[in-house]
Amino acid sequence: MKKIVIIALLSFVPFLAIGQVKQINDILDKYEKNKYVESILISPELLQMAGESQMNQPTKDLLSKLTELRILSVKSSHKENGVSVAQLLRQDLDRVISQENMSRILKIRDGEELMEMFKTKEDKGALLFLNSKPGEFTVISIFGKIDPSVVNAAISGEINIK
């Protein structure tokens, strides 16, 4: 009986990760449509093509783990119904981070600027960077197989987003 319960529970683990990613994507989709939000989406196809180009093997291995990269940025001065769009975006992301018990794996405060990095509990999930500074809020989301090599690459600057 214990084995059946354990197998049943383990079979739901992939759906939990999918749920986390879907919630994050739903929020990003919602704000991406907002006229005040600047957005960049790097599709799985572009990541795959980049992985096939002339790069060193560690970079190719890293890119093969990623399925999508999205960046959203909004000025704090842009408001809807009297509320900052940046504040609304941050609140929606904070809600998902809290509900899904995402791990905060990095926090850097430099004066008034705050950068935080969050990771979903499952390897097949997301890595979120939230950067708050006076006048602007930016979200960088990386989706795919988020294992220690991806986290280390993000922290060390091997994933260089310009």
Show me where the domains of the chain are located. 2-156
- Provide φ and ψ at 145, rounded to 5°: -85, 100
Between 16 and 113, residue with greater pLDDT: 113
Between 95 and 2, residue with greater pLDDT: 95
Between 8 and 108, residue with greater pLDDT: 108
- pLDDT category at 7 given cuts 50, 70, 90 is very low
DSSP per residue, 9-72 = HHHHHHHHHHHHHHHHHHHHHHHHTSTTEEEEEE-HHHHHHHHHSS--HHHHHHHHHEEEEEEE
What pTM was computed for the model? 0.79
pLDDT digit string, tens, across residues 63-90: 788 889 999 999 999 998 899 999 999 9
